[in-house]
Structure 1
Amino acid sequence: MRRWTIGLLAMLAGCGQADEAPAPANLSEDVPVLPSPTPTPEALVTIPTRFVGSWDVSGAACTANPAAASRVVIAANAVRMGDTDLPTRAITAADAGAVDVDVIGDRSGITEQRRYRLALGSGGSLELIGVDGLTRLVRCDAPAGAEAAARNAVALNLAPDGLQTVAGASSRSLPFGTPAEVVLRVVEAATQALPQRSRNADCGEGPLDVATYPRIAVYFQEGRFVGWSARGRGLTTMGGVGIGSKRADVDAVIVAPVEETSLGREFGSSGLSGLYDAKDTVSALWAGSTCIAR
């Protein structure tokens, strides 16, 4: 029995050794940690306009002439750090409005590809994350802003079944059911703004997550795009229907019967809904699930 016990203990010891976790890596080594890309990054043609311009560590540094080595100048397709130009190899959307920019640079005489993450921080500051960690910069100016805005222009249009975008000669449909992260990136690019996020748990169709931009609120349920509502003038359907449109102009492009409801003089057409005010002007416009109380 003693020999069996010793043998069993030896087997268990052997199993324990085989299952042991490897020794932890030496984390004290000076190994740069680059930002990891999002699981399914969306490729961008240019760096978004909100990042374009000159940045430095302080307002005083911005006025220095010549500029110090801390100066960062971001163009649509290049990044300049100090006196070094870093052409971009790839630009991809990241989480929460950030952007990952892969550039070709020189480090200690060796040409290598680096990744920098650009994100907007409090007060419009730039958070630049790269091989040397996080650097916070303030905006000096945006000399290339107008040119970059023209190249990056994305027109956002309202639709009864979702949203549509037009960029140059290309268009894109974002129907209801599209993943939330895709819709958020596109609307952000079109509005050049980050949304205010909230959650409405008191909806008959179930809790809705809301992303509110200056001209539109976008609604999501379980990570999917389910509705939108216009906020003020500026956004219209492809036919030109938007807040501020006259009833005669609406009737000229869509068939939209009007009825008196608890909301007021409400009209609807193939999923598109809205309200007219006393002057027959569109005062509200929405589609999909928006948690409107009746």
Structure 2
Amino acid sequence: MGKKQYWNSEAKNARWIKEGRGQGAGSAYKPWLTVRDVPSEGRSHRVFGHLTQRTHHLLSDLELATFLLLQWRSTVTDIREQFPLERALTQELCTRLGVEHPNQRGVDQYMSSDFVVDSKEKDRPRFVLQVKAKKHLEVARVVEKLEVERSYWKEKEIPFYLVTEGQIPPTVFENINLLYNYADDSIDQTELSVPFELFRQQLPQHESLRLIDLCIHLDTAYSQEPGESLYQIKRLLALRYFHFDITTPFTKLRCSNLSAENTSVLQEGWCVPG
């Protein structure tokens, strides 16, 4: 997860519960933690999900990579990130396992799982993923908390899996590093409306063409500076105006690989507080 230390008072816990954090499903779900609540080691991301039609809060590149892979899994029907665990049960499990419950300033903290995923798979209609960089698994306290979390979901009879960077295809990280420096959601959306409409019209007309070659064609056709169209499509992809299979290298994407998102829904997603 790449999360640094944070803590909640009981008053803040009560306020968050009243706000509906960690509750709901689909577009109505509110994560327990947002990118504003927890400083991350590296980049955090607010990413609109075409599957759930809401903005997701992801606290590291590794979480983002996992999320993007989940979105392209045909059997997945819902993704809930930063999902809080019932504190009474985690307290009981810590006692049973003989480990200290996460506590800050005398307040037992709510633990959370990175992803609770609903799917159409008959043998596991729901499963849970916890995302950890391999280096964190060398820390004894991290392993203790993972055991609490694993035991929690075992009690719920829901499959629990640990995800590390070793399970993520290198191409996914390459695409993330290439695109997500362009993911500035403070951009005035009217600024992107013209390039979005242009690409939305041009992509179906050049389905067999590589995306990069289309960009070169558009620069010439509209007398733009070389690289302008490539810059614009990277911004559009990073902000989810178009979505694509994240396991396909960007340089090999063809126009037929991109699908346009509903822009009115996207704009609503960007207005979500937090």
Give the TM-score, by structure 1 length: 0.24
Structure with the higher strand share, 1 or 2: 1
Higher relative contact order (CA 8 A, sep 6+): 2
Look at both structures and tell me which one has the larger radius of gyration over its CA atoms: 1
